[in-house]
Structure 1
Amino acid sequence: MPKDESMDVRIAILESKVDDLLGKFEEFKRDYATKAEFADLQRQIEGIRADVERLDRRVQRLEERIAHLEERMTRLEQRIESEFKQVATKAESRKDLLTFALGIITIQTAINAAMITAVVQFLR
């Protein structure tokens, strides 16, 4: 079968259309791959968002726990301060009591010494 120019032109047109279709197919594959990658990235982003929300809730619980511990520590500090004041007051009272007792002992010693002196003088 002899080739004529019109057939060559038709073949060239068909080859051009095939090339265009192959180009569009390649573009479609790239777009599809990009869309698939994009969808994968979106899934990863959603996972990251879920992790961030979970971590945010955990941080919030930790902040609440820290606030509770700070409040408890403040109450303990107040209690220790109160106990310290009571102990200091008791210590001061005991010091005063010991000073008083020492004074009594000193007086008693002086009385005993005077009595001994009186007895010694009486016996002479």
Structure 2
Amino acid sequence: MDDRHMQIGEVATRTELSLRTIRHYEETGLVTPSARSQGGFRLYTESDVARLMVIRRMKPLGFTLDQMRELLEATDRLDSGAELADAERRELLDRVRAYERSATEQVDRLRTQLSRAEEFAAALADRLDQAAVRSS
């Protein structure tokens, strides 16, 4: 993976997160800059950007910071390259599967909400069309 370091502004642009949000995620322990420049600026790698993208994708699905942390800890452990006992690997994979199921359920709920919102907007458009015809 690319180990080039990026400053927070570039990371904010790439992730479409604000500087304030990235700093908040750092303060809550969800992401830690990989390094600091001599001037003390936060420096991030592609791995840090990928981590922030996981967080960004979880947020609109209603996951809490604690849930984000739990999932990231599980995926960090699975990706660490460390030798895992079969039971631990199964437990970690089960945890990730549970988040996948939860995300899928939330996506289904959002699709239903979107469909209802589209129906409502279409009904309003029809009403306006009918009112325009009557007033002509």
More strand by share: 2
More helix by share: 1
Same fold per superposition (TM over 0.5): no
The higher relative CO (CA closer than 8 Å, separation ≥ 6) is in 2
* Higher radius of gyration, 1 or 2: 1
TM-score by length of 2: 0.38
TM-score by length of 1: 0.41
